[in-house]
Amino acid sequence: MFRDTVESSVSHIAIIGNPNSGKTALFNALTGLRQKVANYPGVTVEKKEGRVLLEDGREVALLDLPGAYSLTPHSPDEKIATDVLLGRLEHTPPPDTVICVVDASNLERNLYLISQILDCEIPVVIALNMVDVAEQDGIIVDANKLSDILGVRVIRTVATKGVGIRELKLAIAEKIVPSLKSRQWTVEEPLRSELEELRGLLLHHHAMSASEAFHESVHLLGSPAVLDEHRSRFAPEVLAHVQQDQDRLDALGIDRLSAIVEGRYAWIQGVCETAVKKTPRKTLSTSDKIDRILTHRIWGFVIFIVLMTLMFQGIFTWATGPMDLIGAGFNALGDLVASVMPPGDLRDLIINGAIAGVGAVVTFLPQIIFLFLYIGILEDTGYMARAAFIMDRVMSKVGLHGKSFIPMLSSFACAIPGIMATRTIESKKDRLVTILVAPLVSCSARLPIYVLMIAAFIPSKSVLGFVNLAGLTLVSMYLLGIIAALGSAWLFKKTLLKSETPAFIMELPPYKMPSLKSVLLQMWNRSTQFLKRAGTIILGVSIILWFLATYPKLDHGTPSDQLRQSFAGQAGRFIEPAIRPLGFDWKIGLGLVASVLQREVFVSTMGTIYGIKDANESSGNASLRERLQQDVDPETGSHTFTTLTAICLMIYYVLAMQCMSTVAIVRRETNGWKWPLFQIAYMTSLAYVVTLIVYHVGLLMM
Amino acid sequence: MKEVALDTLVPGERGIVWSLNAPAFEIRQRLLEMGLTKGVAIEVIRLAPLGDPIEISVRGYRLSLRRKEAKAVMIERVKK
């Protein structure tokens, strides 16, 4: 009974603000752990919702809108924010009240968005956030005066410290009516009367509120021309009128867009003169002092490299302990199942299909979690924007934005966090290009294959007196991945996803201490998303692969014979003619088939073929190495593996998309199967062609 | 006073925005909305370690933009 009354009185609140205004911290402070993350239907914009417990015991739904500088939709994020505010989105009710988060130390630019929201006449509460930082900087905002001018409630908050949260909750609890103050910003004639006229026309032809009609008339007259997007939404009479207006104003030499934006900023300047007191500072701000070092010509790079090295250190050393533990845990689980279930296909399916398959993915979780944590901290402190600032020169050479750098760098550990980190890239095409090429960067799952092949076939001797050949080979594989990724990015930007190098117009927010709560919550949300998305696909594919490797059954024989006779073995033979030109025989073919799920499975498959238990352990790996070196084709008498084969195999793994988890994440992030399938196709073709060339050139040289 | 492009200013130099010559509408719109309107005061703070992009101070916050975008921002230089 109690539940029902709560449900029926739930109202919808949305929270909006500029990026870096502390919106996420405020959302977390209001909702605590009562939040969940999903996607808006049909787009890949993250939809974060939570529930807020008000002081009177009521619960309201809180929707975290994507960070936006403006309601003029530049990016998918800003379009969603606008559509939600205007109640245009299906399945998302328009908010009863909007909390606008404003950075007190950066009021001028933050008020731009506010001026647009006020145009829409939605009930608004302003959270004047980060007042502590502002006051340290000598900026004092008079909340009462601001409230008087804007005609809405203004609450002073410091979201990271919980200051003002109670007052904010009390303000939400009140039934807020839209401000009675009329719009205060204005543009000069004749644009002003044209806007009014257009508003009347919109109201006549379309079912919309007076405020929405005003918002649309500003949008229409601020556009360069009548666009396709407008044709789908407005009546032909309206569009004809817009066209006339635009032509007439342009002929008068009036810059329509500038006039509108300048109108807003002129009003904002007036507001700030009344409500803000600034004490000019004599010394550099802390943030500036930090930036003097972090973006310094020399020190900037040194620190950048140190931070990135630390990331790799974490991935390849600190994360290995928990990874081993998880691996051992899954083995123990397998043993447990083995001890309680009678032998048979079902037991085998559970142990070698489900547990081993899912276990192999979950084992990578410590690396992925670490990376999410590390990236989260860098983002929260404000360093990520500097990383983009430092690396943009390099990235723009292949037509990408500085922001594409971090996703590609993360991919050295695992493409999944890398691909999820592309969400900060505004341009849709650029984001897609980054997603497409990120898996070419050598991730940690490729390392076991490199290690096995190099240890078995590349002698650890010095060349040119000081370089170790084995080490050089390993570095070459990583370099090949980087070159392939940058080269493909350049090519995609020139052809398939042809677009200009995106403009680099990016805020550099002041540095701040990271909020542990925000960082941990984000890490948790992203990791569970990964497990949900990848986990389900992996479970399915593991079971299919198990089936292929287990049937048809041999009555007698070693595991190696069984594998040879299985469907997977047959598949290996079936593709042999196709991979022969690469120097691969059917056994390698079987390894390729079995490692479609994930690359490192290749090592354990070789272990099974050559009858070596624990191929991943060091002793087993050593004996596997010997068997690989000695293996001879019974028909031709030549070695199955030569140094050239080993190099070709490594190159193939550098370039081929042998990772179902990545496919699952790309499908999720691009909202369909088109791009993951294209990605599989282009990467496999690239791998095939490059390996083919290397093999034949190698044969000629030998 | 003569108008110059923003990318000709060196760190520490100040100016007043005069006009935007960005050919692409979206870029002009973004620059305007980020506060680079006519009459606003700006200061070039620093260059990225590789010389591009540049960091400027405008309306009390820090904005970075490439030289290519900065070329479109016409400035009236202000003496210190």
Omega before residue A439 within 30° of 0, cis = no
**Contacts with A, B 2-21, CB within 8 Å:** 20
Q: pLDDT for A324-362, tens place per residue?
A: 898 899 889 989 998 998 888 888 888 888 887 788 778
Does A261 contact chain B (CB < 8 Å)? yes
Task: State the pLDDT confidence band at B12, using cuts at 50, 70 and 90.
Answer: very high
Any chain B CB within 8 A of the CB of A382?
Answer: no
Cβ contact (<8 Å) for B62 and A510?
yes
CB contact under 8 A, B66 and A392: yes
Confidence (pLDDT) at A677: 96
Mean pLDDT in chain A?
86
For chain A positions 87-106, those within 8 Å of chain B (CB to CB) are 105-106
pLDDT band of A452, cuts 50, 70, 90: confident
Q: Residue B40 has what DSSP assignment?
A: -
Nearest by CB to B35, which of A109, A288, A396?
A: A109
Provide mean pLDDT across the span A447-465. Answer: 83
Enter the DSSP assignment of A624: H
Does the beta carbon of B60 lie under 8 angstroms from any beta carbon of chain A? yes
Look at the block and give the residue holding tokens 């070159």. A483
Say yes or no: B57 contacts chain A, CB-CB below 8 A: no
Could you give the percent of chain A with pLDDT greater than 70? Answer: 96
pLDDT by residue (tens digit) across B58-69? 999 999 999 999
Burial bucket for residue A664 (CB in 10 Å: 0-12, 13-18, 19+):
buried
Q: Which of B32, B66, B69 sits opposite A258 (nearest CB)?
A: B32
Report the pLDDT value the prediction gives residue A264, as an integer from 0 to 100: 95
Look at A363 and A67; give whichever has higher pLDDT.
Answer: A67
CA distances to A52, A91, A160 from A515, in Å: 20, 32, 7
Q: Is B62 on the interface with A (CB under 8 A)?
A: yes
pLDDT value at residue A93: 84
Of the candidates B46, B61, B66, the beta carbon closest to that of A504 is on: B66
Query: pLDDT (tens digit, 9 = 90+) per residue, A413-437?
Result: 788 888 988 887 878 888 999 999 9
Measure the CA–CA gap between A343 and A630, rounded to whole angstroms: 35
| A9 has pLDDT over 60 | no
The answer to whether the peptide bond before residue A41 is cis (omega within 30 degrees of 0) is: no
How crowded is the C-beta side of A488, counted as CA atoms within 13 Å? 24
Distance CA A26, CA A16 (A): 10
- Residue A182's identity, in one-letter code, is S
Residue numbers in A near B30 (CB within 8 A): 74, 503, 505
The interface predicted TM-score (ipTM) is: 0.95
Global pTM reads: 0.83
Residue A139, pLDDT score: 92
Mean pLDDT of A190-200: 92
For range A119-139, the mean pLDDT? 91
CB contact under 8 A, B34 and A504: no
SS3 content of chain B, % helix, strand, coil (to 5): 20, 40, 40
Handedness of CA A445, A447, A450, A451 (dihedral sign): negative
Structure tokens at A28: 């977390």
Across the interface, which of B20, B27, B48 has its CB nearest the CB of A503?
B27
Of B24, B60, B64, the CB nearest to A506: B64
Query: How close does chain A come to B1, measured CA to CA in Å?
Result: 22
| Selection from B6, B63, B66, B21 nearest residue A502 by Cα | B66
To the nearest whole Å, the CA of B16 is away from the closest chain A CA by: 14
Q: What is residue A130's predicted lDDT score, i.e. its pLDDT?
A: 93
What's the pLDDT band for B36 if we cut at 50, 70, 90? very high
Mean pLDDT for the stretch of residues A665-694: 94
Checking if the pLDDT of A7 tops 60, the result is no
pLDDT above 60 for A699: yes
pLDDT, residue B1, reads 62
Question: What was the pLDDT predicted at A1?
Answer: 34
Cα angle, residue A658 at apex, residues A409 and A39 outer, rounded to 5°: 65
A387 and B CB contact within 8 Å = no
Contact B27, B80 (CB under 8 A): no
**Residue A612 pLDDT:** 66
Looking at the partner chain, which of A107, A389, A505 has a beta carbon nearest the beta carbon of B30?
A: A505
Give, rounded to a whole angstrom, the gap between the first and last alpha carbons of chain B. Answer: 15
CA dist., res. A224 & res. A240, Å (int): 15
Cβ distance B61 to A392 less than 8 Å, yes or no, reads no
Residue B72 — very low, low, confident or very high, per pLDDT cuts 50/70/90?
very high
- pLDDT computed for residue A615 by the predictor: 66
Q: Give the CA count within 13 Å in the CB-facing half-sphere of A624.
A: 27
Which of A40-49, A212-221, A471-480, A666-675 has the weakest average pLDDT? A40-49
Rounded to an integer, what distance in angstroms lies between the CA atom of residue A273 and that of residue A270? 5
Q: What angle do CA A671, A81, A32 make, to 5 degrees?
A: 90
- Checking if the pLDDT of B13 tops 90, the result is yes
Q: How far apart are CA A426 and CA A478, in angstroms?
A: 28
Residue A3 is predicted with a pLDDT of 40
What would the pLDDT profile of A245-301 be if each residue is shown by its tens digit?
999 999 998 899 999 999 999 999 999 999 999 887 767 788 888 988 888 888 888
Are A508 and B26 an interchain contact pair (Cβ–Cβ within 8 Å)?
no
A301 — contact with chain B (CB < 8 Å)? yes
Whole-number pLDDT of residue A275: 93
Maximum alpha-carbon separation in chain A: 93
The yes-or-no verdict on residue A626 having pLDDT over 90 is: no
Q: Give tens-digit pLDDT for A488-532.
A: 999 999 998 887 777 889 999 999 888 888 889 888 888 887 788
Q: Give pLDDT tens digits for B49-59.
A: 999 899 999 99
HSE of A221, CA atoms in CB hemisphere, 13 A: 30
